[in-house]
Amino acid sequence: MKKLIQILFLFLSHALLAQNSIKGKITAEGVPLEFASVSLLKTTWGTTADSLGNYTLNHIPKGAYQIRVSYTGFKSQQRKITVNDSTETLLDFDLKADNALEEVVVTGTLKAVNRLESPVPVEVYKPTFFKKNPTANIFEALQNVNGVRPQLNCNVCNTGDIHINGLEGPYTLVLIDGMPIVSGLSTVYGLSGIPNSLLERIEVVKGPASSLYGSEAVGGLINIITKNPKSAPVVAADAFSTSWGEANLDLGFKTNLSKAVSLLTGVNYFNYSNPTDNNRDNFTDVTLQDRISVFQKLNFNRKSNKLFSMAGRFFYEDRWGGEMQWEKKYRGGSEVYGESIYTKRYELLGSYELPVPEKILFTFSYTDHDQNSVYGNIPYLAQQKIGFSQLTWDKKMKNHDFLFGTAVRYQFYNDNTPATANADKSWIPSLFAQDEIRLTEKHNLLLGLRYDYNHRHGNIFTPRLAHKWKINDKSIFRFNAGTGFRVVNLFTEEHAALTGSRDVEVLEDLEPERSYNANLNFLRKFYTGNGDYVGLETTAWYTYFTNSIIPDYDTDPNKIIYKNLDGHSVTQGVSVNLDAVFQNGLKIIVGATYMDVAKTENGVKTRQMLTEKFTGTWAVSYRIKKWFLDIDYTGNVYGPMRLPTLGALDPRKEYSPTWSIQNIQFTFNKAKNIEFYGGIKNLLNWTPNKGNPFIIARANDPFDENVQYNPDGSVMVTADNPYGLTFDPGYVYGPNQGIRSFFGIRYTLK
């Protein structure tokens, strides 16, 4: 009996010794996740993480298990683990919100819905994505979004717009917190100065959205969503500079004015004051800029928990580009050429959910934009005021999810050009309705219709249809179709009409453009037993335009001719996005787009100017945990574009080459709340002047004082002007800024 007891004691001791522990830390982007849940599947073992994100599972018998970690707002991770004779197994988890396709989005349907449940495909980009290649403004930050291309429109003042799937900037609507306040003049000059420290996420919808958002949303829309004061960091600061002398500072901080009111403040300041002429044409390669933007957002905590927030922004910018010897004393004169733009802009926006049982939301915005600019000796003085208000009623009834709304938009525009004899004032009232029908558990149908009244063009109807087929939790198929319209304001949207020596000729009263669109979208998610994730999304689209207004550079090299196209134009293509995250610290985001953008007039098909056939973007990241180091390699590649040359004798290439901008960044984040980062931008030192004799035509004679003309108005070929050209800075398709280093520091206090 005694021997039996000894044997039993030895057996129990061995069994106890064989029961081991699993320990680790759970974080998200380096921040500990308190109360994250940890469980061994198909067992009773489980626990939660402490305030530092640490967890421990004790007395685990030897064997193979599946361990699962979850936390609200982040994608759960599941990994295989084998417990052996060692007494302690270490296993850390870094949860990723970026991969959580269960994110809530609002842009596609004007409702807060789960991204997977939205019948309209919405792409979501968070600050982590943009930190991989830090920039001084949202305009530049979008260069690594597949299918979205920031396009420079002038070699001198470096203004630009945002192309989506090959369509020009005026076809893209930019929203801030859902309000259409970036339009008209600001599509050219107002895309800078939104403080990155206040960015919560950016939602991108590709394809017409006019049935919800009206004119300007023909090609797609970009919704810049700012942080909620409740969840924003107490302090956030980000400062960097480059070897070219650029300096950027982003500051954000929040404070509670009372128990019911929270205030979020953001400040952005950017300065570049180092004239550089690496291509030796006596013109600045990069526009000099001095700008400041101040943003404030108030959030009111109501007892009913209904939404009430207000925000405002002030933006001022002084930018100039031109001949290297230009000074402000030459502004507006004919002695030294320069393009100088002073921009002053105010914005106000708000959202108020009515205190009634139904879900009724009132939103409003107002912008006041004043532009004082000169292009050589040509002044362009413009004022624009836009007021917008909207009332929506969100109502669910059985298997129907309705949205009813009414909106009114007031526009005031005045400038000193001959095209604007009197200030333009207009009111555009709108009505819209949308019904998302749950047909079955896997099939949803969305129907929508918008009505707008324009005093010049009468009644405008824009219907839409969308169908979502949720094959399973990992596969979604979407079909969208609809129409769009755009009312053109030529001088506020077409920068080429103001700069250079080409004469602008408008042949007729411009009618609104109309579009008809259809696109197919397929999303597939893959997970491995080790916690690796791969997401694949592909989209094919077709858009047909009538009444297109495309600047004609071909008919007369000395003119830009505007008229409604006597024919049609088409943009079609396919895009693929791949997002992969591996447990070894490697993250890959890759995108590719192939498109065909062309116009057909009098039976002749012509490729549209400044539109590439293919694009590619990538962001490859790798974290070396033991060194607390993140490495980000980002870049893009663009196929050839047809460029606006000045006739048969112009020696500049008719098509751009295939070109690429690539960057690398190293981020060190061992210290608490602080990150140090640095790297190289434009690793290949690519600039568009390579392979061309010059970029700016007649840079030596910007006022065309020595240009001679033939009796028919064409430019005469002379010894001083062997190519028969006039001054033209519009031959531009990429940035003139070459390779440069950068260094920065971020501080965040939660």
Burial 518-546 (b: 16+ CB within 10 A, else e): bbbbbbebebeeebbbbbebebebbbbbe
* Residue ending a domain, choose from 62, 94, 126: 94
Q: Based on the domain organization, do 550 and 458 belong to the same domain? A: yes
Q: Mean pLDDT lowest for which of 66-75, 100-109, 155-164, 278-287?
A: 100-109
| 477 alpha carbon, distance to own chain's centre | 24
With cut-offs at 50, 70 and 90, classify the pLDDT of residue 147: confident
Mean pLDDT score, 275-304: 92
* Cβ–Cβ under 8 Å, residues 124 and 203: yes
Neighbouring CB atoms inside 10 A of 28's CB total: 20
Q: Are both 86 and 118 inside the same structural domain?
A: no
CA 86: distance to chain centroid? 50
Average pLDDT over residues 261-271: 92
Taking 90 as the threshold, does the pLDDT of residue 19 lie above it?
no
User: What is the structure's pLDDT at 564?
Assistant: 72
Q: How far apart are CA 98 and CA 332, in angstroms?
A: 49
Among 175, 262, 159, 155, residue whose Cα is nearest residue 216: 175
Please answer whether residues 421 and 398 qualify as being in contact, where contact means their C-beta atoms are separated by less than 8 angstroms: no
Measuring CA to CA, which residue among 474, 463, 567, 566 is closest to residue 518?
A: 463
Which residue in 326, 340, 328, 322 sits closest to 155, CA to CA? 322
- Check pLDDT > 80 for residue 550: no
Average pLDDT over residues 638-661: 91
Question: Which H or E run includes 187?
Answer: helix 186-189
Closest by CA position to 737, among listed 138, 187, 272? 272
Using the predicted structure, report yes or no on whether residue 9 has a pLDDT greater than 50: no
Dihedral sign computed on CA atoms, order 557, 558, 562, 563: negative
Query: Which of the pair, 602 or 486, is modelled with greater confidence?
Result: 602
* Final residue of a structural domain among 59, 94, 129: 94
| Domain identity same for 64 and 132 | no
Pairing outcome for strands 458-472 and 475-486: antiparallel
What pLDDT does 283 receive?
A: 95
Cα distance between residue 604 and residue 671, in whole Å? 63
> Which of 178, 413, 283, 153 is closest to 694 using CA atoms?
283
Q: Number of structural domains, the chain? A: 2
Kindly report the number of other CB atoms within 10 A of residue 427's CB atom.
12
The average pLDDT across 142-171 equals 82
Q: Classify residue 328 by burial, with Cβ atoms within 10 Å: 0-12, 13-18, 19+.
A: exposed
301 in a domain, yes or no? yes
Task: Report the C-alpha gap between 423 and 372 in whole angstroms.
Answer: 16
Q: How confident is the model at residue 78 (pLDDT cuts 50, 70, 90)?
A: confident
- Mean pLDDT (the chain) is 84
Give the residues across from 461 on adjacent strands.
Answer: 451
Give 623-628 contacts, CB < 8 A, sequence gap 24+: 623/585, 624/585, 625/92, 625/585, 627/668, 628/668, 628/669, 628/670
Q: Are residues 200 and 58 in the same domain?
A: no
**What does the DSSP assignment read for 278-315?**
TT-SSB-SS-EEEEEEEEEEEEE--TT---EEEEEEEE
pLDDT at residue 11 in the model = 45
Which structural domain, as residue segments, surrounds residue 712?
A: 104-724+741-749
Query: Is the domain of 120 the same as that of 47?
Result: no
Max CA separation in the chain (angstroms): 125
Q: Are residues 498 and 626 in the same domain?
A: yes
- Mean pLDDT within 189-215: 71
Query: What's the CATH number where 639 sits?
Result: 2.40.170.20
Radius of gyration of the chain (CA): 29
Rounded (10°) CA dihedral 117, 118, 124, 126: -60
Which CATH number do you get for residue 42?
2.60.40.10
Is the residue at 13 inside a domain? no
129 three-state secondary structure: helix
List the structure tokens of 481.
């179709």
> 225 with 217: CB under 8 angstroms?
no
Higher-confidence position of 584 and 361? 361
**151 and 82 part of one domain:** no
Which residues pair with residue 525 across a beta bridge? Answer: 535
300 DSSP β-pair partners: 261
In a domain, 126, yes or no: yes
- Residues facing residue 77 across a β-bridge: 69
- Order of strands, edge to edge, in the sheet holding 63-70? 46-48, 37-40, 63-70, 77-83
Q: What HEC string does 217-229 produce?
A: CCCEEEEEEECCC
**Which pLDDT belongs to residue 192?**
66
Q: Is residue 734 part of a domain?
A: no
Mean pLDDT (whole number) for 162-178: 80
Reported as a pLDDT band with limits 50, 70 and 90, residue 391 is: very high
Contact 228/246 with Cβ under 8 angstroms?
no
Proportion of the chain above pLDDT 70, given as a percent:
85
Rounded Cα gap, residues 150 and 168, in angstroms: 10
Task: Determine how many CB atoms are found less than 10 A away from the CB of residue 713.
Answer: 10
Query: Both 415 and 458 in a single domain?
Result: yes
Residue 245 shares a structural domain with residue 366: yes
At 2, is the pLDDT very low, low, confident or very high (cuts 50, 70, 90)? low
Mean pLDDT of 558-578: 82
Give the model's pLDDT for residue 12. 45
Residue 190 pLDDT > 90, yes or no?
A: no
N-to-C CA span, the chain = 64
Assigned domain for 524 exists: yes
Confidence band for 185, pLDDT divided at 50, 70 and 90: low
pLDDT(102) > 80 = no
Domain end point (choices 94, 118, 136): 94
Which H or E element spans position 344? Answer: strand 338-353
Using DSSP, state whether 252 is helix, strand or coil: strand
- Helix (DSSP H) and strand (DSSP E) numbers for the chain: 6, 43
pLDDT above 90: residue 210: no
Q: In the 8-state DSSP scheme, what is residue 625?
A: G
State the pLDDT confidence band at 99, using cuts at 50, 70 and 90: very low
Residue 716 has pLDDT above 80, yes or no: yes
Q: How confident is the model at residue 15, as a pLDDT?
A: 44
pLDDT at 499: 52
Give the per-residue pLDDT at 340: 94
Residue 391 within any structural domain of the chain: yes
Q: Is residue 3 one of the residues assigned to a domain?
A: no
Of 33-42, 66-75, 482-491, 652-661, the least confident: 482-491
**E strand or H helix that includes residue 12:** helix 2-17
Q: Are residues 330 and 457 in the same domain?
A: yes
Residue 5 predicted with pLDDT over 60: no
> Pairing mode, if any, of strands 77-83 and 63-70?
antiparallel
What digits encode the pLDDT tens for the residues 454-501? 877 788 888 889 999 999 878 999 999 988 877 766 655 555 455 545
> H or E stretch including 179?
strand 179-182
Q: What are the tokens at 396?
A: 């669910």
More confident residue, 498 or 571: 571
Q: Is 7 inside any structural domain? A: no
**Beta-bridge mates of residue 631:** 622, 666
The answer on 84 and 114 residing in a single domain is: no
Say whether both 305 and 177 belong to one domain. Answer: yes
pLDDT at position 265 over 70 = yes
User: Between these two residues, 61 and 741, which has the higher pLDDT value?
Assistant: 741
